[in-house]
Amino acid sequence: MTDELTHMRPDGAAHMVDVSGKDITARSATASGSVITRPDVVARVFDGTLPKGEVIATARIAAIMAVKRTADLIPLCHPLPLTGIEVDIDRGDDRVTIAVTVRTTAKTGVEMEALTGVSVGALTVYDMIKAVDREAVITDIRVVEKHGGRSGDWHRE
């Protein structure tokens, strides 16, 4: 791992990293995040009784769509050939937790795609619960693990 900023030229200007010299390898990344809300709202999310309708299916589709559009949303991200996207949405006492795993066979990793999926999934949950809890909080969006590539595997402690 290097401390160099790869998206910066020596003159300080931003640029898209040239990955043409890298090998095509199988890569994956998982990110997660949570929407903290009241326990009664969590119950309504999972029993489908909120005014805007089916939260879980809508958030899952939103996360998948976001993963597929990451290169359009995040400057300097490479468009990648995605080979798989998994979205898991779990229930906690006071939270809805979203985990997104993205897979590719490419020259660069999919951490940004996983983070984008979690972020948009969480925003969708918030949008669908805000009528009953405007104080809900999106929190702890982070990469949990990555596999493949030159730097190998990494897991959050």
What count of other Cβ atoms lies within 10 Å of the Cβ of residue 85? 21
Residue 88 lies in a domain: yes
The pTM is what? Answer: 0.91
Residue 9 lies in a domain: no
Residue 117 lies in a domain: yes
As a whole number of angstroms, the distance between CA 75 and CA 12 comes to 16
What range defines the domain where residue 72 resides? Answer: 25-150
**Amino acid identity for residue 140 in this structure:** D
Residue 85 lies in a domain: yes
Total domain count, the chain: 1
- CATH number for position 51: 3.30.70.640
Residue 17 lies in a domain: no
* Residues with active-site annotation: 127
Q: What share of the chain is helix, strand, coil (3-state, %, to 5)?
A: 30, 30, 40
Residue 8 lies in a domain: no
Residue 141 lies in a domain: yes
**pLDDT, tens digit only, all 157 positions of the chain:** 455 656 666 776 777 777 887 889 999 999 999 999 999 999 999 999 999 999 999 999 999 999 999 999 998 899 999 999 999 999 999 999 999 999 999 999 999 999 999 999 999 999 999 999 999 999 999 999 999 988 889 999 8
